[in-house]
Amino acid sequence: MKERSYKANLLIEGMAKKLNRQMVGSLVACVHCGMCTESCHYVLTNPDDPTYAPAYKADRMRKIFKRHYDWTGRVFPWWVGAKSIFTDEELEELKDISFGKCTNCRRCSINCPMGVDFATFNRALRGLLVSVGVMPEGVAVVSKDQWEIGNQMGVLPEDYIDTLDWLSEEMQSEFDDETAVIPIDKLDADIVYTINPREVKYDPRTISDAAKIFHIAGENWTMPSEGWDMTNFGLFSGDDALGGAVAIRVYEKLKELRGKKLVISECGHGYRSTRCEGPNWAGIDQDFIMESSVFTMLNYIKEGKIKVDKSKNTGSYTFHDSCNNARSCGLYEEPRELLNLVVSDFREMYPNRNENYCCTGGGGAMSMSEYTSRRLKSAKVKADQLKATGANIVVTSCHNCVDGLTDLIKHYDLKMEVKQLVNLVANALVIPEKITAPEVPTVEIKKAPLAGRKILVVDDEPDILVFFKSVLEDNGAIVFEASNGEDAISIALKEKPELMTLDINMPGKDGGWVFENLRRNPEIASTKVCIITGRPELRRLIYDRPVPMPEGYLDKPVDPDTLLFNVRKILEVG
Amino acid sequence: MSESLHFAEHRLQEIALLVMACVYAIRIFWLTRYKAGRDRQMPTGPPDTNKKKGILYSLMNIMMPWAMESTRKHFIIYSQFIVFHLGVTFAILMSFLIPYAPDTMKPVWVIYLFQVVIGAAFIVGIFRIIRRFSKKVMRAISTPDDYFSLILITTWFLTAFLSVPNKPENGETIMIIYFWLTAFFLIYVPFSKISHYLYYPFTRYYLGRTMGHRGVFPLRGSRQSK
C-alpha cells in the first residue's frame, strides 16, 4: 500500500472539519457540464489549457473528498474520479491550482446551473493547505503580520499614530482650523472609521480625503488606535481562525470605544470580511451597524451634510466593481449613484455589477509574486474591458483592485489612472466659507519640496534607477545611485544621504545585507531607509534582522506620486 | 404479453424503484448530517432583496436562460439541456404509463408527442456525447461515470423511442430492453452523477439563501454589451 506523507494525512483529516452542508452539496452536485468554463478570466486567456477550467480546478478537491468522505468514491474510486493524495509534491500541485489559478472571484459560482459554489470550497482548500504549511510565501508573510502585528502590512502602532498625527497637522494647516483633526480613540463617537493598512503605507491621501469629508460633514467620528485594520487575510488564506480573530479585534475595539457605527473604508475584501464574513468566522451574531464608507459619503450628499461640485472632477470615468463587493455583498448600485454625483462623464463598463470580471489581483494574488506573469496574462480580459470604455480614469471601491488595475494598466500600457470614490468626493467638496482651504502657501514648496535633501537610490534595474532619480531630482533632491550592495554602502559612507531607497532582490549582496550593514555602522546607522521591492515575500530578509526597522516600505510598481508622497513622509517634508 | 415482458414492466420496476428510494433516502440522510452554515451578519445589498427572494430566484434560475451569462451566451447548449431533460421526463413517465395506464398511450397524437420529445432528446444525447469526447476541456473534466451515464441515457432514449407505440405483438425485444434499461437506470442513478437532481434543491437553496441575504440574488443590471 502506498505510504501517505504526514502533511497529506493531516490535510485529509482536516477536511472533515471544513465540511458543511453547503460545501458537501457543491462537492457532489457538479455534473461536469462545462458551463462554468468561459466565466473564468484565466480560461479566456488560456483557452487551450483545460487545467484552468473551474470544474477542473474544483475536481482537485472533489477527488479527495470523494475518495475519503463519499462512499461512491470509496467503493468505485476510478469510476467517479475519486483520488487520494499521498505526497508533498501533490500538495504543491494543489497549491498551484488553488492559489495560482483562481482568485476566488466567484464568477463561476454565479454561472453554474447547479449552484456549485466553487469559490467557497476553493477557499476551504486554501485553508487546508495553509493548515499544513503549504502556501505561497507571500501568504505566509502577510498572515504572520496580521496574527502578530495586528494588520496585514506590518504597520507598527507608532507608525500608524504618527501618520494620523501628521495627516491631522496637514489638515489643520489646510483649513487653518485647530479642530480639523483625526480623532483617535474618542469615546461615544457616532462613527468609528476603519481602514486598510495600505492606506497608511502607500496612500495616506485616502485617509486625509476621508477625514476632510468627515470634518466638513460635522461628523462625530474617530479612528481606533488598535483594531483599525478592517482587511482580513483570512479571506484569502482560507484560515477561518485568523478570519475570526481579525474580525473580533475590530468589533471589540468598536465596543470598547462605545462607537455607534463601524464604517469601513473602500476595500472590497475588507468590506466582505468585516461586514459579511466576520460574524460567521467569529461565531457571533452581528449586533451593531456596519457600513461601507460609500454609503456614508452618499448619505452625506443626500442629506445635504456635504456639497459637491462635479465640475471639479474633469476627465472621463468608468467604474470597476470589486468581486467581493458586487458578487459577495450586493454592493454595486450605491457606488454608481455616488460616482454620478461627483463626476460628469461616467461610462459604464461591460459586463458590470455581478458579472464584472475580476481585477485579476484579487484573492490575495497581489501578494503571491510567483504567479505574477500568470496573473498579468489573465489580465488581458480586464485590459480589453477597460479599453472598451474609452474612459481615462477607472474608479473602484477596493484597494486590492487599485493595485491590480494599476499593475495591469501599466503592463498593457492603457494610459489610464485609478481612483477611489473617496478621492473624487474629497476633490469635489464645496468647502463652506468659514473653513475654506487656503492656497498652498509657498511656490518653493510646491516646486521643490525635496530641495537639498540627499537621497541614495539602490536598485539593480537601470530603468528603476533612472525613474526614481528623475522623480526625486524633479522635486529638488540630490540623488546618488547604486546598482549593487557594495556600492550602496560605500556611497552611503561617502555621501551620508538622509534617505536610502533600497531594493531587496539584487545579485550579489542583497538588500538585507545592505540594510544590516547600514544599521550596524554608527556612521550611517541613522540613514532613513525605504524598502522598495517587487518581491514582498522577501520582506523577512529585512524585517527578521535584529536591527531597527526601516522607516518605509513600498511594493513595486510605484507611481511617481506614491514615491514622492512616501519620501516626503519619511523625511517629514510638509 | 409474455411473462418476461410482464416481469420487466412490473416486478422489476417495483424492485428498482424500491432500491432507488432506499439509496436516495440514505444519500439525503448523509447530506443532512452535515451541519448547514449560517449567515450571522445583518443583510446587505438592495433593500428589496432577502433570503426568500434569493432562494426562489436561485431555484427558478434554471428556467431563466437570460439570468446567467453562461446560459445567455450558450443558448443552444441551454436548449439542448431543456430537450434532454424533457426527454428524461417523458421516458420515465412512459415507464409508468405503459404498465399502469396503457390506454393513455393509445391516441396517435400522444404517440407522436412522446416520439418527438424522446427522439429529439436522443439526438441531443448524441451531440452531447460528441461534445464530451471532442472538446479538450470536457475530456479533462470527465470521469468514466460521465461518459457511461451519458451513453446509458442516450441508448435508453433510443429504446424508449422505439417502445412508444406499445405494441408487444410486433415484437417484445425492444420493450424488454427498454424496461430492463429503465430498471438498471433507476438502480444506477444514486451511484452516479445522474443523481445530481437530488442535490440540485440543496445547492440552489443554500446558494440562494446566502446570495439573497447579501443582495446578490436576484442578479441584476449586468449585460455583456451596451
Per residue in A239-278, pLDDT (tens digit) is 999 999 999 999 999 999 999 999 999 999 999 999 999 9
Domain boundaries, chain B: 3-31+69-213
Q: For residue B189, what is the DSSP state? A: G
Joined grid coordinates for residue A540: 523577512
Q: In sequence order, which residues have a C-beta less than 8 Å from that of residue B141 and are 6 or more positions away?
A: A32, A34, A50, A53, A55, A56, A59
CA A275 – CA B41 distance, rounded (Å): 7
Residue A436 has pLDDT above 80, yes or no: no
Q: With bands split at pLDDT 50, 70 and 90, how would you rate the model's confidence at A429? A: very high
Task: Test A352 with B222 for CB contact under 8 angstroms.
Answer: yes
Best mutation target among A67, A321, A355 (most B Cβ atoms within 10 Å) is: A355
What integer pLDDT is reported at residue B222 of this predicted model?
A: 60
Residues of chain A neighbouring B210 (CB-CB closer than 8 A): 22
Q: Are A358 and A382 within 8 A, CB to CB?
A: yes
Q: With bands split at pLDDT 50, 70 and 90, how would you rate the model's confidence at A445? A: very low
Joined grid coordinates for residue A104: 476566488
Strands (E), A376-466: 393-396, 417-419, 454-458
Position B122: which residue type?
F
CA A315 – CA A419 distance, rounded (Å): 12
Per residue in A498-519, pLDDT (tens digit) is 999 999 888 788 888 899 999 8
Domain range A443-570, CATH architecture? 3-Layer(aba) Sandwich (3.40)
Per residue in A293-336, pLDDT (tens digit) is 999 999 999 999 999 999 999 999 999 999 999 999 999 999 99
Residues of chain A neighbouring B42 (CB-CB closer than 8 A): 286, 289-290
**H/E run at residue B74:** none
Residues of chain A neighbouring B61 (CB-CB closer than 8 A): 113, 115
CA B68 – CA B216 distance, rounded (Å): 13
Of the candidates A37, A48, A333, which has its C-beta nearest B46's C-beta? A333
Task: Test B49 with A330 for CB contact under 8 angstroms.
Answer: yes
- For B200, which residue in chain A has the nearest alpha carbon? A114
The CATH code of domain B3-31+69-213 reads: 1.20.950.20
Residue A554 has pLDDT above 50, yes or no: yes
Per-residue pLDDT, averaged over B83-110, amounts to 96
Q: In sequence order, which residues have a C-beta less than 8 Å from that of residue B151 and are 6 or more positions away?
A: B129
**H/E run at residue A481:** strand A478-482
Per residue in A53-91, pLDDT (tens digit) is 999 999 999 999 999 999 999 999 999 999 999 999 999
Higher-pLDDT residue of A471, A261: A261
Q: A176: closest CA among A449, A573, A441?
A: A441
Residues of chain A neighbouring B204 (CB-CB closer than 8 A): 114-115
Residue A161 has pLDDT above 90, yes or no: yes
Residues of chain A neighbouring B88 (CB-CB closer than 8 A): none
Give the ranges where A112-225 is alpha helix by DSSP (H). Answer: 118-131, 137-148, 157-175, 197-201, 204-216
Q: What is the mean pLDDT of chain A?
A: 93
Q: With bands split at pLDDT 50, 70 and 90, how would you rate the model's confidence at B223? A: low
- For B50, which residue in chain A has the nearest alpha carbon? A330
Of the candidates A22, A30, A31, which has its C-beta nearest B206's C-beta? A22
Task: Test B215 with A330 for CB contact under 8 angstroms.
Answer: yes
Q: Are B179 and B95 within 8 A, CB to CB?
A: yes
CA A558 – CA A319 distance, rounded (Å): 22
CA A10 – CA A131 distance, rounded (Å): 8
Interface contacts (A, B; CB < 8 Å): 198
Joined grid coordinates for residue A312: 471639479
Domain range A310-428, CATH architecture? 3-Layer(aba) Sandwich (3.40)
Per residue in A403-427, pLDDT (tens digit) is 999 999 999 999 999 999 999 999 9
Residue A225 has pLDDT above 50, yes or no: yes
Q: A101: closest CA among A156, A152, A45?
A: A45
Q: How many CA atoms lie within 13 A of B159 on its CB side?
A: 21
What integer pLDDT is reported at residue A534 of this predicted model?
A: 81
Q: With bands split at pLDDT 50, 70 and 90, how would you rate the model's confidence at A435? A: low
Query: pLDDT > 70: what percent of chain A?
Result: 97
Exposure class string for A23-32: b at 16+ Cβ within 10 A, else e: bbbbbbbbbb
Is 0.90 exceeded by the ipTM?
yes
Task: Test A286 with B192 for CB contact under 8 angstroms.
Answer: no
Q: Decide if A310-428 and A443-570 have a common fold.
A: yes
Joined grid coordinates for residue B74: 450558450
Domain boundaries, chain A: 6-135, 157-302, 310-428, 443-570
Asked whether the bond before A536 is cis by omega within 30 degrees of 0, the reply is no
What integer pLDDT is reported at residue A444 of this predicted model?
A: 43
Per residue in B9-26, pLDDT (tens digit) is 999 999 999 999 999 999
CA B206 – CA A21 distance, rounded (Å): 9
Domain range A6-135, CATH architecture? Orthogonal Bundle (1.10)
Residue A437 has pLDDT above 80, yes or no: no
Low-confidence winner among A425-439, A555-569, B192-206 (lowest mean pLDDT): A425-439
CA B155 – CA B33 distance, rounded (Å): 36
**H/E run at residue A530:** strand A528-533
Task: Test A32 with B138 for CB contact under 8 angstroms.
Answer: yes
Q: How far is A210 from chain B (nearest CA, A)?
A: 23
Task: Test B221 with A332 for CB contact under 8 angstroms.
Answer: yes
CA B208 – CA B53 distance, rounded (Å): 8
Best mutation target among A26, A28, A123, A346 (most B Cβ atoms within 10 Å) is: A28
Residue A544 has pLDDT above 80, yes or no: no
Best mutation target among B28, B216, B219 (most A Cβ atoms within 10 Å) is: B216
Residue B102 has pLDDT above 60, yes or no: yes
Residue A572 has pLDDT above 70, yes or no: yes
A480 forms beta bridges with A456
